[in-house]
């Protein structure tokens, strides 16, 4: 299975140059040497002189202690210094004395926690990832480019911060390096493994994963967020990703336009038809299936919780187990947001076209870290956001119920068999 942004592969757009465009207006009067005027004001104002002196001392402190300051603190100080009404200082350091070069020499031990603090992974995992992304006939990927990309993902660092820390000649070069590495992540890690029927063998036999949605915020009036559909396997990895859907679309409409849906509907191509069905009693044969939330239709390969108006003896217990299992999707997205802070903010409308690409990059890196045994995060730091009310209105519920009534009649029998088996398993454990 392949990770995708929306219905097509992600595209790359690089800035043509690092220059800024200035718009001149004939109505505005030109001023000569405004910079000289500001410098004279700085020299004549005692408060500004003290402010400039304090800023210089702060910069000196950062340069001396930047290897041991948490990135969040140093980035915050950099932001405050850049906002001061004083002339910025320009570093004259060479590429051999960049922060990253000094960091690598300082954090030489494999278990140095600063690797996790800065790049959200251990030193061995970092260089394993560098090796994977460099495995081509092209020139090897510079370690500084990978480090800068991970640093921006992890801390929402600006391109100017990347240029200063990692030795790029310009902000444009830093931006280009970031998107180049993200593209390599898609190319090298984007081929996802098919999920196996081991999601919850005891309670949900033959289940291949949980299907749900994540929402990423946009700071716009016309579009409030973008939706990502994801299938999560038993290891908490993303087994299928489809990103970039507008929040105005209903979940079922999104599902029907994804590659996952077409693969599941076409038996010859469906990974769900690659294994033997499971016999659960009463002559009901349960094929491989995916567990989906209540906003999706009940299908032979997609098992969803019972709706509120369906009175089944075992429905309550099944719904509790299903909702607990579906939390895996929320937790996976929460880990992605926690690790890659660039995604835990509102994106500007003019940058929203890149959001699906960056979200998918974060999910693929999450998978790589899980495979390397480096995917754990402190539980208190992971806050799963409940997106269950997304497009959950009366019209949406009515559409789903109507489709369930027209669906393949065996779909409800499959769900009933799973629910009855669950009831037997839990009853035997309580004896």
- Show the 3-state SS of 159-171: HHHHHHHHCCCCH
User: Do 319 and 407 fall within a single domain?
Assistant: yes
Report whether pLDDT(174) > 90.
yes
pLDDT at position 44, please? 56
Using CA atoms, how far apart are residues 321 and 314, in angstroms rounded to an integer? 11
User: Do 220 and 165 fall within a single domain?
Assistant: no
| Interacting residues of 205 by C-beta distance below 8 A, sequence separation 6+ | 197, 278, 280, 286, 418, 421
Report whether pLDDT(162) > 60.
yes
User: Do 385 and 295 fall within a single domain?
Assistant: yes
Strands 278-279 and 285-286: antiparallel
User: In sequence order, what E strands does 277-405 have?
Assistant: 278-279, 285-286, 289-292, 302-303
Q: What is the pLDDT of residues 187-228, one digit of tens each?
A: 999 998 888 999 998 899 999 999 999 999 999 877 889 999
| Range picked from 51-65, 222-236, 356-370, 387-401 for highest mean pLDDT | 356-370
What does the mean pLDDT of the chain come to?
Answer: 81
Q: What is the pTM of this model?
A: 0.82
| Interacting residues of 136 by C-beta distance below 8 A, sequence separation 6+ | none
User: Do 152 and 244 fall within a single domain?
Assistant: no
- Taking phi over 0 as left and psi of -120 to 50 as alpha, with beta for the rest, 275 belongs to beta
User: Do 181 and 136 fall within a single domain?
Assistant: yes
Q: Which of 190, 223, 239 is the last residue of a domain?
A: 190
Strands 238-246 and 207-217: unpaired
What confidence category does residue 95 fall into, taking pLDDT thresholds of 50, 70 and 90? very low
User: Do 149 and 255 fall within a single domain?
Assistant: no
- For residue 145, the enclosing domain spans 109-190
Residue 77 lies in a domain: no
User: Do 127 and 269 fall within a single domain?
Assistant: no
Residue 79 lies in a domain: no
> What is the mean predicted confidence (pLDDT) over 352-360?
96
Q: Which of 190, 218, 251 is the last residue of a domain?
A: 190
Report whether pLDDT(252) > 60.
yes
Q: Which of 190, 215, 248 is the last residue of a domain?
A: 190
User: Do 139 and 214 fall within a single domain?
Assistant: no
What confidence category does residue 408 fall into, taking pLDDT thresholds of 50, 70 and 90? low
pLDDT at position 126, please? 98
Residue 56 lies in a domain: no
Report whether pLDDT(395) > 60.
no
Please say whether the beta carbons of 165 and 99 come within 8 A: yes
Using CA atoms, how far apart are residues 230 and 246, in angstroms rounded to an integer? 15
Residue 196 backbone dihedrals phi, psi, to 5 degrees: -105, 155
Give the count of domains, the chain: 2
User: Do 297 and 212 fall within a single domain?
Assistant: yes
Please report the sign of the dihedral spanned by the C-alpha atoms of residue 212, residue 218, residue 223, residue 224: positive
Using CA atoms, how far apart are residues 264 and 268, in angstroms rounded to an integer? 9
User: Do 156 and 259 fall within a single domain?
Assistant: no
Report whether pLDDT(96) > 60.
no
> What is the mean predicted confidence (pLDDT) over 60-73?
78
Give kind and range of the element (H or E) at residue 4.
strand 4-5
Residue 22 lies in a domain: no
- The DSSP output letter for 348 is P
Using CA atoms, how far apart are residues 257 and 242, in angstroms rounded to an integer? 10
Instruction: Identify the residue with better confidence: 42 or 425.
Output: 425
Residue count of the chain: 431
Residue 334 lies in a domain: yes
Using CA atoms, how far apart are residues 228 and 254, in angstroms rounded to an integer? 9
| C-alpha closest to that of 102 among 93, 113, 111 | 93
Residue 305 lies in a domain: yes
3-class state of residue 222 by DSSP? coil
Residue 67 lies in a domain: no
CB atoms within 10 A of CB 208: 25
User: Do 292 and 384 fall within a single domain?
Assistant: yes
Residue 87 lies in a domain: no
CB atoms within 10 A of CB 356: 24
Using CA atoms, how far apart are residues 185 and 179, in angstroms rounded to an integer? 10
pLDDT above 70 as % of the chain:
75
User: Do 165 and 220 fall within a single domain?
Assistant: no
pLDDT at position 386, please? 65
171-189 vs 355-371: helix crossing angle, rounded to 10:
60
Q: What is the pLDDT of residues 296-348, one digit of tens each?
A: 999 989 999 998 776 566 788 999 999 999 999 999 999 999 999 999 999 99
């Amino acid at each position: 299975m392949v990770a995708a942004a929306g219905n097509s592969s992600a595209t790359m757009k690089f800035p043509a140059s690092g220059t800024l465009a200035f718009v001149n207006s004939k109505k505005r009067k030109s001023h000569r040497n405004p910079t000289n005027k500001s410098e004279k004001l700085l020299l004549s104002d005692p408060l500004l002189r003290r402010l400039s002196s304090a800023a210089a001392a702060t910069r000196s402190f950062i340069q001396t202690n930047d290897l041991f300051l948490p990135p969040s603190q140093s980035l915050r100080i950099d932001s405050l210094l850049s906002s001061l009404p004083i002339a910025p200082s320009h570093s004259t350091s060479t590429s051999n004395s960049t922060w990253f070069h000094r960091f690598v020499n300082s954090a030489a031990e494999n278990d140095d926690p600063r690797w996790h603090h800065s790049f959200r992974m251990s030193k061995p995992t970092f260089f394993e990832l560098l090796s994977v992304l460099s495995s081509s006939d092209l020139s090897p990927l510079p370690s500084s480019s990978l480090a800068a990309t991970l640093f921006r993902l992890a801390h929402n660092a600006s391109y100017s911060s990347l240029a200063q820390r990692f030795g790029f000649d310009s902000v444009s070069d830093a931006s280009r390096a970031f998107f180049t590495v993200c593209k390599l992540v898609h190319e090298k890690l984007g081929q996802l493994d098919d999920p196996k029927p081991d999601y919850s063998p005891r309670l949900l036999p033959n289940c291949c994963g949980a299907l749900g949605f994540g929402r990423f915020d946009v700071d716009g009036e016309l579009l409030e967020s973008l939706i990502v559909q994801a299938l999560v396997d038993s290891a908490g990895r993303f087994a299928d990703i489809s990103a970039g859907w507008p929040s105005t679309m209903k979940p079922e409409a999104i599902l029907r336009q994804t590659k996952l849906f077409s693969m599941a509907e076409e038996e010859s191509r469906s990974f769900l038809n690659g294994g033997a069905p499971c016999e659960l009693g009463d002559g009901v044969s349960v094929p491989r299936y995916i567990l989906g939330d209540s906003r999706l239709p009940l299908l032979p390969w997609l098992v969803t919780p019972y709706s509120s108006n369906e009175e089944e003896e075992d429905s309550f217990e099944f719904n509790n187990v299903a909702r607990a299992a579906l939390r895996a999707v929320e937790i996976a997205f929460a880990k992605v947001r926690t690790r890659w802070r660039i995604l835990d903010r509102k994106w500007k409308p003019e940058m929203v076209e890149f959001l699906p690409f960056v979200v998918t990059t974060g999910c693929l890196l999450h998978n790589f870290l899980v495979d390397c045994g480096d995917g754990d995060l402190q539980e208190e730091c992971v806050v799963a956001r409940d997106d269950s009310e997304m497009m959950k209105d009366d019209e949406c519920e009515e559409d789903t119920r109507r489709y369930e009534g027209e669906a393949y009649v065996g779909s409800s029998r499959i769900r009933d068999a799973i629910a009855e088996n669950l009831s037997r398993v839990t009853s035997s454990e309580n004896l």
